[in-house]
């Protein structure tokens, strides 16, 4: 990635917070870490603190996504995936985790719990029309295009 491709994002760190970071040069997301230790029981969901606050630049959003390793090893996911951080939000990033596995999972302070991805956004100008154009797919949804 060229330096000109990077977007500066102001960040503040609360007590116990870890600065999000990319683990590899090709990573799309920065790892978000929890700023607390906790256990997550099977089928329990919990809003987890990161202690991180960011100022997303106008024209962008930050998405918080689950980590595939936690999903594969323990059945841990996010309830609202992806979570969206708007450019005008200045509060703490918190992650709503859920344990879809059958065992209690222990999380330690500083453990990676999610990924933070910066994405460009476009605002739509909705235009009311009498009808929409036809497509081959038409009204089909929810599996209508096959397996």
Give the bridge partners for 14, in sequence order: none
Q: Is the pLDDT of residue 49 over 90?
A: yes
DSSP-assigned states of every residue in 23-34: SSTT-SSEEEE-
Cα distances from 139 to residues 12, 22, 127, 128, 147, in angstroms, run 46, 41, 20, 18, 17
For the beta carbon of residue 98, count every other beta carbon within 10 angstroms: 19
* CA gap 83, 89 in Å, rounded: 13
Domain 3-120 has CATH 2.70.40.10: yes
Residue-range domain boundaries for the chain: 3-120
pLDDT band at 140 (very low <50, low <70, confident <90, very high): confident
Q: What is the pLDDT of residue 138?
A: 83
Q: What is the pLDDT of residue 1?
A: 47
Cα distances from 31 to residues 19, 115, 123, in angstroms, run 9, 5, 27
Backbone angles phi, psi at 72, to 5 degrees: -70, -50
Q: What is the pTM of this model?
A: 0.87
* CA gap 37, 108 in Å, rounded: 4
Q: What is the pLDDT of residue 137?
A: 83
Cα distances from 44 to residues 8, 40, 84, 106, in angstroms, run 36, 6, 22, 12
Q: What is the pLDDT of residue 3?
A: 52
Q: What is the pLDDT of residue 139?
A: 81
Burial level of 96, CB count in 10 A (0-12/13-18/19+)?
middle
pLDDT, tens digit (0-9, with 9 covering 90-100), for 78-107:
999 999 999 999 999 999 999 999 999 999
Backbone angles phi, psi at 73, to 5 degrees: -75, -35
Q: Is the pLDDT of residue 34 over 60?
A: yes
């Amino acid at each position: 990635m060229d330096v000109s491709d990077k977007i500066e994002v102001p960040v503040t760190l609360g007590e116990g917070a870890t600065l999000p970071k990319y683990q590899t040069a090709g990573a799309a997301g920065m790892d978000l870490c929890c700023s607390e230790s906790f256990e997550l029981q099977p089928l329990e969901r919990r809003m987890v603190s990161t202690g991180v606050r960011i100022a997303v630049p106008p024209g962008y959003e930050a998405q918080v996504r689950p980590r595939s390793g936690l999903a594969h090893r323990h059945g841990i996911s996010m309830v609202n995936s992806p979570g969206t951080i708007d450019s005008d939000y200045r509060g703490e990033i918190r992650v709503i985790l859920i344990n879809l596995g059958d065992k209690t999972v222990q999380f330690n302070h500083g453990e990676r719990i999610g990924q933070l991805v910066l994405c460009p956004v476009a605002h739509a100008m909705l235009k009311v029309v009498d009808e929409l154009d036809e497509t081959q797919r038409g009204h089909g949804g929810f599996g209508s295009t096959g397996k």
